[in-house]
Amino acid sequence: MRVRWVTLLAVAALGVASGCSGTTAASDPVEASAQTVTVTIKSANGQHTFLVETARTKDEQERGLMFRTDIPQNGGMLFAPYPAEGGPPREANFWMKNTPSPLDIIFIRADGTIARIAENTAPQSETQIPSGEPVSAVLELRGGRALDLGIAEGDHVAWAGRKSQ
């Protein structure tokens, strides 16, 4: 039994050490206690997949990624529904207070298209970051990922459980 355990650990370590330079989130560590969902963004240059934590309640959405420095390459947080209490899409305002890592904040319309991307937002800033129009979800990614992957306004965002419009 010990040999099997050591073999499994070796295989797991090999998988982690090999890494992944694509857009798949499988090799990125995610906090074990967090609920996650796979988010896919279809852009002009292909499909990009992320494994992100979910923020569904008002408290989870208020905290977001505050105090976090461990945001995986293809990780982040999905705020859906936004706002947490539901209702029709509405304008969103985010800020970076108590957030030490730069983020790309992607504002998503009810039809699943990207309304606006606030790229590489300034850590710890209390400046409001507006959506610019009513949105029904917000996706936060590690700062710089949208530019690196060619994600742009108008691209389509999908995840399990999202109601089509």
Q: pTM for the whole thing?
A: 0.78
**120 torsion bin: left (phi>0), alpha (psi -120 to 50), beta (else):** left
Cα torsion through 109, 76, 43, 27, rounded to 10: -150
Angle at the Cα of 39 (from 34 to 44), degrees rounded to 5? 155
pLDDT in tens, 91-141: 999 999 999 999 999 999 999 999 999 999 999 999 999 999 999 999 999
Q: Is the pLDDT of residue 33 over 60?
A: no
Residue-level pLDDT at 161: 77
CA dihedral sign of residues 112, 53, 69, 65: positive
Strand partners, 94: 129
Amino acid at 136: S
pLDDT in tens, 150-165: 999 999 999 987 754 4
Residue-level pLDDT at 20: 31
Give whole-number Cα distances, 149 to 22, 66, 87, 118, 153, in Å: 10, 24, 32, 15, 13
